[in-house]
Each structure stands twice: as structure tokens, then as C-alpha cells.
A and B are shown apart, each in its own frame.
Chain A
């Protein structure tokens, strides 16, 4: 049996392919939008994954350290380390800021970490891990820093010694890892003018600058320029221990907030990126509807363009079923071409996006199924139009 659809396509294949190509780019945009959404969620997930922690211990009654500010004394981790079921506990600080390199700056999340402990960069793509206890940094490749670069964080210069990847904040900012002590200082350090003004303010305060107590002012000034706070303590539980139980112990006996992986995911995805994700989701929905509408219109106009040929077919006694299957096949064919082009296009342009775009195979499969359904649905309108055509148009028109 002759394939009517195939013959028709071959008859005007360039038109068909170009239409498919255009459609494909539109589908590519839709898939990319889905990828942007997935990327946002993935940014939040890798943040948790790469921190290498089972538990996040933060200030009581806060959703820290990512969704809310949290501040803890930096000697608290010792008490946590002594609890049963805790294998590792390490201080960590997070501070989103502009990191300068030469005349340019990059928005980055500066992470203060202890080497070899949770919170440290788990893997590198080049360079080495930090070996000095100050002024060395490991940067995410999204910062576009290279090994050997000198970068400036607040008042200190750091040497980039290693590069890693997919170490991002929940907002997608690349991370720069520096030793904990430096980060504590960077987080707290005021500019020199503020320090000098602060000293003058202390000296003007008669309660602090007492004539009978020399040295008091110096002691107060010294205590005001040191920082013993961190944002969170990352805890890794011992093998075979249940993180939830350990979290309960910390909450009960240490009077701190402790979140396990599941709770942290909820905080990040349900609270932190919720609005942004809904925004993208809304846009994705509209884009999907627009794509479906365009597919329907294209198939409809394609069919209307062949209305005379269909009339001829009817005139020569072709069965309705044959005509319907021709239109359906063409619609599905268009869908397949569009999907292939869209998928390839999305895959090729995804890495060029400034933030991470994650194209999941599952999404692609769903996209394909929806695409086919939309094409089939759209073709019914066209089929109705084709079947209603009066065979007389073939001669009359």
C-alpha cells in the first residue's frame, strides 16, 4: 500500500522539514525552560550534596545557614563531636559577596571550611587542595578563575590553587572556598575607617576609658576586633547511625537547631527557591500552551493548504480513514522532527547559559509523550476540516 503521508511529505519535503525545524526550536525553548527549573532545584540539591554533611546544626529557631542567617560560637563543635553517633563535626561559614580579580569582580559565595572535614570541596577538576592554613582558595569553574590567579576578598589577597565544578549556592552563585579562619575574618572585618572610628568612639566613652584603669580601653578594642562566630556546624554521623536520632539529641541537649538532609531539602526547595521556581514554572506552563497552540495551528494550516488535494482524493473515492490517517501521520511526523530538533538544540545550547540548566532524560520522555498527544489532538481539528470538505471544491475552486 502506498503511504499517502510519506508521498505528500516527499512531495513538499523542504516545507515540511523547515516547519519541523521551526517547531523544533520552539520545543527546544520549552525543554530548556524545564531544564532551567530543574537546574534551580539541582543547584539546591548539589549544595547539600557537596557539603558532605548528614546534619546541619544552626542557631536555635533559625532556618540557617542558607535560608536565614545563623550564628554560632566556633567552639560549639567540640561539644557536638562528643555526642554519640557523631563521626565528624566541622565549622563552616557562608558569605555571598563580590570577589575581586584585578579590575573585575565575580559574585560568589565564599565558604570558610576546615580541610578534610564536611564542607570542604569534595573533588577538583584541576590544581590541588589547600595546603596552607591561610590565603589559599579553591574556586568553582563558573567564576572563570584559573589556578594561580590572585583574587581579593575584603582586605586579603588569595591564590587560587584548585578548581572544582558544580559547587554553587542555592541561588546558583559559584563558590569560593577559603580557610575557615580567613573566612571568619572576612565576614566580620570592617573597613579601616570604621575600625578607627570605633576606637575613637570607645575612647570617648567615659565608662570604657577610665583614668584609674589603664589598659581597659585596649582590652575592649581588642575584643571588638576578633570574631569567634561561624554560621553552621556540619555533622557527619557514624556509619550505621540514624541522622534523625542524632539530630534529636542535638536539639534536645545542645539547645540548637539541627536539620537532616530531608528537612534541609524542604527548606531549600519549598522555602528558599519556591517563588523563583513558581515563576519559572508559570513561564514553562505558558510556553507549553503556546507551543501546543502553534503546533495545532501549523498542522491546521498545513491541512488547509492541501484542501484541494484532499477534495480530489475524496472525489476519487478515497476512504475517510485513509485521509484521516494521512493527516495524523503527518502531524506525528512533524512532532517527531520537532522533538528531535528541539532536544538536540536544547542540549547544545544548555551549557551556554550562565546558570546551570539540567536536562533530565525523564523530562525529555514526558516532553515527547506530551508532544505526540498535542500533535494527535491538533490533527483532529485538521481532520475534521478535511473530512468536511466538499469534494466539489476540487473542480469548482
Chain B
């Protein structure tokens, strides 16, 4: 009789075991299982933010060399890559009829000078004649007072004096006009010469030729570039930084520049200027970062990843940025106190490059906050604290 009883026990025991296994499975996996989380303490440490932006290498001093009037290119004396010095002749443009016009202007100006000489001679003659007429008139006035000469003769002499004086005025005017004419013709000549000179393109600064935009024979319009020059010693990086992640950006900050062509090398530099105008379309700020020493072989328009270091905040109250969560429209962290979870809205400050976030308000040192979790948390969720969530897939 013992046997059936023990068999019954076995049945019950196995059913109980089966239910226990089922219960364990249900409670430890699937939706009813507690959410595994990791925690960290709020600590004080240094927060070292870094701003990251993508930039392009550009030349601070770049020159577009071209004519001020439409012209045809006659000759180019430099090629791409050549170094040039200030004032060096780079190109000649075809003057068409400009040389003939300069000769014509020069001749006109010579003629103008002769006209002035003639006018001067005429003035001298008129002055002498006036002096003589004045003398004659005075003499006849004296004689007429004694009744020696007739009134009609005196009148004739007085008229002669007035006429001679008018002639002087006329000669003076002629001379002045001739002078002005000469001035105009000389100015014309100067202008023509300048225009002729503008068809010779000179380097306005020292640099390197970066492109030949027009070859001999091609016609260019006013303002179009024939040659482009860049000063290779003035290379800097124009960096674009997200406006909402650019707090603390200012001139003088140290930077690290990584050129795309040399991804494993970082070149030191610093922020030379923050542009006063930001880009409202791309929501970026623009900063110019200079190299401390320009790496040889750097090409312009190359992409350069730039990290700008912001002075660190010492002894800031920090949490890892993975602990920042949203609950409704609020940002905050889950604080674990006395075995219960509480959502604490926080005000955050600087964010370090390594993921530490400065907490300005809402937490105190030593608070235990949730960092990682298997899913987003709600207020009444059950959690189980573990060391790490890695290495187990569910």
C-alpha cells in the first residue's frame, strides 16, 4: 500500500515542480519580469566640454585677378602652383586700339601745350598795347586840359585805351581756356595710360597661383577672374558648429584639427575669430580656426574635423548623460531612494565630451540615479539593479 501513495506524491511533486518552473519562467522573462537597470552615484568631478564642427581649409588672403573692362587675354606668364611676389606681372590682355588712342591723346596734349604758349604770347602783346594806350590817353588828357588838342582826338585816344584793356581781358581768358584744355588733354592721356596699364595684370599680394580661369585668346568681362591667387601662409579652417551645441565658443580657445587626408593625425590650432553673422538656414555658427603651424602640403577646400576645447568646469555635480530621461515633456533623471523610484526633473549645464553632464539643479551629491535600463521606465515599474546589461540578449 505504500507504493501508490509514494507514486501519488511523485505526481503531485512533479505537477508542483512543473508549475514552479512555469512560474519562474513567466516572472523572469517577458513582460512581467522586473526591468534590469544599472545605477550610479551623483559625483563631483571636472566637466570638460568640447565643441565639434566640420570645416573646410580656406585661405585667409585670396585674390581674384581680373580686368576692370571687357578684354581678351593675350598672354599669361604664370601657371598653377607658381609662387608670385607683390607687383609681379602675371598676364597681359589684348589692348585692341588702346595704344593708338594713347598716341592720339599724347598728340592732343602736345597741341594743347602749344596753344597755351600762343595764348601767353598774345597776352604779353595785349599788355604792352594796353600800357601804350594808357600812356597816350593820359598825355592827351593833359594836353586837352590846356586846350591844345581837340575834344574829338581825346575821345579817340580814350576809346583806344578802353579797347586795349578789353583785349588784355580777352587774352587772359584765352590763356586760361588753353590751360584748362591742356589739363583736360593731359588727364585724358593719363586715363588712357592707366587703362592701358589695367590690361596688365599684376599680383596684388604675395601668394601662389591656384587656378587659371581663362587661357590666352579667351574674352573675359569686367570683374571676371583670369587668375586666382592664395597666400599659402594664411590658411585657416572655416568651421561650422551647431548653434545648439556651441555654448562657450569664443576667440582664443584651443582646437584640434584633423584633416580628412590625414585622419590619424591631429594638428593644434586656436579659434581666431567667431563670425559675427551666423547661418540661420543651417542653424550653425561659423568660426575661423588657425593652425599653430600650417602642415605642409595642406590643400584648400579640404574637409577638416575640428574639435574646440572649452575650459573645463571644475568640481561640477555630474551624472552620465545616459541617465537623462524624458517623462512627458519633462527632462530629468530617475532617482532611487529607499528602494523606490522617483523622477526628478533637473536643470543641466555643460556636457563633457566623455558623456558627463553637469547638473545645476534637482540633485544632490551622493544621490543614486538610474543609468542604463532595458526599456523606458514608467512611474510604477519594478526594477532589479544589476552591474551591467551587456552580454545578455533578450
Stretch at the interface among B144-152, B170-178, B290-298, B316-324: B316-324
Instruction: Give complex CA distance A314, B19 in Å.
Output: 35
Choice from B18, B241, B390, B393 contacting A340 with Cβ under 8 Å:
B18
Write out the residue numbers on chain A whose beta carbons fall within 8 Å of the beta carbon of B30: 347, 358-361
Instruction: Give complex CA distance A96, B352 in Å.
Output: 31
Instruction: Give complex CA distance A161, B52 in Å.
Output: 15
Which of A49, A114, A228, A347 has most B Cβ within 10 Å?
A347
B4 within 8 A of A: yes
If the complex has contacts A10-B11, A128-B320, are A123 and B373 also in contact, measured as CB distance less than 8 A?
Answer: yes
Which residues of A39-94 are within 8 A (CB) of B? 49-50, 52, 75, 87-88
Instruction: Give complex CA distance A165, B282 in Å.
Output: 31
Stretch at the interface among B20-28, B104-112, B157-165, B197-205: B20-28
If the complex has contacts A212-B221, A340-B22, are A135 and B305 also in contact, measured as CB distance less than 8 A?
Answer: yes
Beta-carbon contacts of A104-142 to B below 8 Å, as 1s and 0s?
000000000011100000111111110111110000010
A6 nearest in chain B by CB position: B11
CB proximity of B26 to chain A, nearest CB, Å: 6
B52 near A343 with CB under 8 A, answer: no
B321 near A129 with CB under 8 A, answer: yes
A237 near B224 with CB under 8 A, answer: no
B329 near A133 with CB under 8 A, answer: no
Write out the residue numbers on chain B whose beta carbons fall within 8 Å of the beta carbon of A166: 374-375
Write out the residue numbers on chain A whose beta carbons fall within 8 Å of the beta carbon of B305: 134-135
B329 near A123 with CB under 8 A, answer: no
Q: A123-B372, A133-B245, A361-B32 are in contact. List 10 more A-B contacts (CB 8 A).
A: A10-B7, A115-B245, A126-B390, A133-B52, A134-B52, A134-B53, A161-B355, A165-B374, A214-B221, A340-B21
Write out the residue numbers on chain B whose beta carbons fall within 8 Å of the beta carbon of A133: 51-53, 241-242, 245
A129 near B375 with CB under 8 A, answer: no
Instruction: Give complex CA distance A162, B328 in Å.
Output: 23
B13 within 8 A of A: no
A126 near B324 with CB under 8 A, answer: no
B4 near A236 with CB under 8 A, answer: no
A239 within 8 A of B: yes
B98 within 8 A of A: no
A289 within 8 A of B: no
Write out the residue numbers on chain A whose beta carbons fall within 8 Å of the beta carbon of B352: 131
B355 near A128 with CB under 8 A, answer: yes
Instruction: Give complex CA distance A94, B305 in Å.
Output: 25
CB proximity of B4 to chain A, nearest CB, Å: 7
A328 within 8 A of B: no
If the complex has contacts A126-B389, A181-B242, A337-B18, are A131 and B351 also in contact, measured as CB distance less than 8 A?
Answer: yes
B348 nearest in chain A by CB position: A116
Choice from B11, B54, B375 contacting A165 with Cβ under 8 Å:
B375
Which residues of B374-394 are within 8 A (CB) of A? 374-377, 388-390, 393-394
B325 within 8 A of A: yes
Closest 3 CB pairs of A and B: A128-B355, A132-B52, A87-B329
B50 within 8 A of A: yes
29 A–B pairs (Cβ distance < 8 Å), ordered by A:
A6-B11, A7-B4, A88-B329, A123-B377, A124-B371, A125-B372, A125-B389, A128-B322, A131-B50, A131-B321, A131-B353, A132-B353, A134-B52, A163-B390, A165-B374, A166-B375, A181-B242, A181-B282, A211-B221, A214-B225, A228-B282, A236-B329, A344-B22, A344-B25, A350-B29, A358-B31, A359-B30, A361-B31, A364-B26
A344 nearest in chain B by CB position: B25
A6 near B8 with CB under 8 A, answer: yes
Write out the residue numbers on chain B whose beta carbons fall within 8 Å of the beta carbon of A228: 281-282
B52 nearest in chain A by CB position: A132
Choice from A50, A129, A337 contacting B322 with Cβ under 8 Å:
A129
Write out the residue numbers on chain B whose beta carbons fall within 8 Å of the beta carbon of A237: 329
Write out the residue numbers on chain B whose beta carbons fall within 8 Å of the beta carbon of A350: 29
B21 near A344 with CB under 8 A, answer: yes
B19 nearest in chain A by CB position: A340
Write out the residue numbers on chain A whose beta carbons fall within 8 Å of the beta carbon of B18: 336-337, 340
Instruction: Give complex CA distance A228, B224 in Å.
Output: 31
B322 near A124 with CB under 8 A, answer: yes
A360 near B31 with CB under 8 A, answer: yes
Write out the residue numbers on chain A whose beta carbons fall within 8 Å of the beta carbon of B326: 52, 122
Which residues of A323-356 are within 8 A (CB) of B? 336-337, 340, 343-344, 347-348, 350-351
A347 nearest in chain B by CB position: B25
CB proximity of B216 to chain A, nearest CB, Å: 17
Instruction: Give complex CA distance A228, B393 in Å.
Output: 38
Write out the residue numbers on chain B whose beta carbons fall within 8 Å of the beta carbon of A290: none
Write out the residue numbers on chain B whose beta carbons fall within 8 Å of the beta carbon of A50: 376
Instruction: Give complex CA distance A6, B22 in Å.
Output: 22
Which of B242, B320, B354 has most A Cβ within 10 Å?
B242
Instruction: Give complex CA distance A133, B19 in Å.
Output: 53
Choice from A88, A129, A131, A141 contacting B393 with Cβ under 8 Å:
A141
Instruction: Give complex CA distance A75, B281 in Å.
Output: 7
Write out the residue numbers on chain A whose beta carbons fall within 8 Å of the beta carbon of B21: 340, 344
Write out the residue numbers on chain B whose beta carbons fall within 8 Å of the beta carbon of A343: 22, 25-26
B124 within 8 A of A: no
CB proximity of B203 to chain A, nearest CB, Å: 21
B331 within 8 A of A: yes
Instruction: Give complex CA distance A124, B320 in Å.
Output: 11
Write out the residue numbers on chain B whose beta carbons fall within 8 Å of the beta carbon of A128: 320-322, 354-355
B219 nearest in chain A by CB position: A211
A162 near B22 with CB under 8 A, answer: no
CB proximity of A152 to chain B, nearest CB, Å: 13
Instruction: Give complex CA distance A210, B295 in Å.
Output: 38
Write out the residue numbers on chain B whose beta carbons fall within 8 Å of the beta carbon of A360: 30-31
Write out the residue numbers on chain A whose beta carbons fall within 8 Å of the beta carbon of B8: 6
Instruction: Give complex CA distance A211, B224 in Å.
Output: 10
Write out the residue numbers on chain B whose beta carbons fall within 8 Å of the beta carbon of A162: 322
B351 nearest in chain A by CB position: A131
Write out the residue numbers on chain A whose beta carbons fall within 8 Å of the beta carbon of B307: 132
Instruction: Give complex CA distance A122, B244 in Å.
Output: 19
